[in-house]
Amino acid sequence: MSAAIVTGASRGIGRGIALALAGAGWDVVVNYASNAAAAEEVAADVEKAGAKAAVVRADVADSQDRHRLVEEAYRAFGDIGLLVNNAGVAPSVRADILEAGEESFDRLVSINLKGPYFLTQLVANRMISAGTAGRIVTISSMSAYTASTNRGDYCITKSGLSMLTKLYAARLAEHGINVYEVRPGIIATDMTGGVKEKYDRLILDEGVTPIRRWGTPEDVGKAVVAIAGDLLPFSTGQVIDVDGGFHLKIL
């Protein structure tokens, strides 16, 4: 195994992915934007699992930070075999699309879409130069195709990540680099904590997901480990739904 960069790895889904990769033998670059203490805790847990960790503070929305993240990752481990674009934010305030402002839209596009787009470009070029047949995984959301009119900016960015995956999959296949989209559904994290009562009702009482439980960061981590372990070698541009069956159309 080589090393993986996991953006937004200090909490939630990113933490689950980092620990799952460590358990599978991957060294991990634990990226975070603001919560240094949480990132150090994740790094300690990675090392408890028997892997090596490097903690790098970087805002993926910032060009200089993206370049520094990549440089520090390669300096720490010499080679990067996996990039996981996980970092993302929700709107600070959910606002109807007829009233929503540009500030939130610009913030979400910068972090959720522009950041992964150009970070993927940087890592892909390094993989090509090094002759690394690496893997690139982008964590999107069921919001890539599910319209929530009180958080249109979030949905737009997640939909854009689906096309990011297709574009890079098409471009990088000739270099032996496969690209995947992992699309989580309703996952129990601090981001969904504020709507727990609503989703408890939808999942447990109304059966919005055929598998009647919340998803966990560990569920997403297992999907990433499958890709990292090269269990899908003849697939690229593939969407992997980790959503309890939410995407199914059921009569």
Residues with a known catalytic role: 154
Candidates 169, 5, 159; CA nearest to 80 is 5
**Look-up of token digits 């992992």:** 182
CA–CA distance, 15 with 29 (Å, rounded to integer): 11
Residues 6+ apart with CB under 8 A from 31: 5, 6, 7, 8, 9, 14, 39, 56, 57, 58, 60, 69, 87
Q: What is the token pair recorded at 157?
A: 């960015």
Q: How many CB atoms lie within 10 A of CB 240?
A: 18
Distance CA 135, CA 228 (A): 7
